[in-house]
Amino acid sequence: MQTLSENAAFGGVQGVYTHSSKACACDMTFGLFLPEEAQDGPVPLLWYLSGLTCTHENAMTKAGAQGWAAEQGIALVFPDTSPRGEGVADDAAYDLGQGAGFYVNATQDPWAPHFRMWDYIADELPALLEENFALDMERQAITGHSMGGHGALTLAMALPGRFRSVSAFAPIANPTGSDWGRKQLSAYLGDDETAWAAHDASLVMRDKGFDGPVLIDQGASDQFLELLKPEALADAIAARRQEATFRMQKGYDHSYFFVSSFMEDHVTFHANALWR
């Protein structure tokens, strides 16, 4: 692992690091904010998974999360959204390939050699973080925006006991029924739709649910509502009788203005679970 930068922020340190990833077979970059309390011992960790076209940097610089995390004494990790670099498959469209990993393990060419973001987020990066930083990996929570909200929800439900809470900002909630999903899942996983179900938050919510609290914020003026399909997730939460808060936020769109407006709520929500 190499340090690309470290900057003082809110009494703590915002770092950017790169490492050789076995899962993705390329170098991967991530951001990590450590609050001041990390100088004295391990602190809880909140994951933030970003959306389409993003790198580690978008949420790190736009979401306004570090100040709220510093107040709560928790760390924040900002992974990249896909493998990158020379020899890594890509597509001309913004919603497939580099910047659009969809947090799955691809099984189809040309994506299979590198696009293993599920293994990277679920296994490889947590192990690297635990080895190198003052983090209490028994206290983890996860959130994300759009494609990252999809990833946060599906990972949280598939890994019971890993995360104490999960939240999402405008998640891609029903990708098997949306053009933001069917295109990518067929490319990465093939045409057998039974393989897609594990990566559809609405389907997994009906089947398994989550063993903790859930918070969803969706902008009511989001320009991508027809692609996100929040009603499918809301219906699944109700059918499952899941412990959850689902909020439609009047006037808000899909941008980081929306995310940053409700970031304090989400960080506080997770801190309440992490410090229990």
Q: Give the pLDDT of residue 105.
A: 98
∠ CA 101-157-162, rounded to 5°: 95
Q: Give the pLDDT of residue 174.
A: 98
R_g of the chain computed on alpha carbons: 17
CB 153 within 8 A of CB 168: yes
Q: Give the pLDDT of residue 20.
A: 98
Q: Is 142 helix (H, G, I), strand (E, B) or coil?
A: strand
Q: How far apart are CA 168 and CA 62, in angstroms?
A: 16
77 exposure class (CB count in 10 Å sphere: 0-12, 13-18, 19+) = buried
Q: How far apart are CA 251 and CA 156, in angstroms?
A: 29
Q: How far apart are CA 226 and CA 180, in angstroms?
A: 10
Please say if 222 is a catalytic residue. Answer: yes
Q: Is 214 helix (H, G, I), strand (E, B) or coil?
A: strand
Assigned superfamily of 2-274:
Alpha/Beta hydrolase fold, catalytic domain (3.40.50.1820)
CB 38 within 8 A of CB 29: no
Quick check: pTM over 0.85?
A: yes
CB 267 within 8 A of CB 72: yes
Write down the catalytic residue from 56, 150, 254, 266: 254
Please say if 95 is a catalytic residue. Answer: no
CB 62 within 8 A of CB 256: yes
Q: In the chain, which stretches have pLDDT less than 70?
A: none
Q: Is 144 helix (H, G, I), strand (E, B) or coil?
A: strand
Write down the catalytic residue from 80, 199, 222, 266: 222
Write down the catalytic residue from 146, 165, 167, 202: 146
Picking from 208, 209, 204, 202, the residue whose alpha carbon sits closest to that of residue 242 is 209
β-pairing, 214-219 vs 135-144, is: unpaired
138 contacts: CB under 8 Å, gap ≥ 6 = none
Q: How far apart are CA 223 and CA 218, in angstroms?
A: 11
- Order of strands, sheet of 166-169, starting from the edge strand that comes earlier in the sequence: 2-9, 12-21, 26-34, 75-79, 43-49, 135-144, 166-169, 214-219, 244-249
**Per-position DSSP letters for 182-215, written without gaps between them:** HHHHHHHH-S-GGGTGGG-HHHHHHHT--SS-EE
Please say if 19 is a catalytic residue. Answer: no
Q: How far apart are CA 154 and CA 20, in angstroms?
A: 25
- Spell out the domain ranges in the chain: 2-274
Tokens of 164: 């104490």
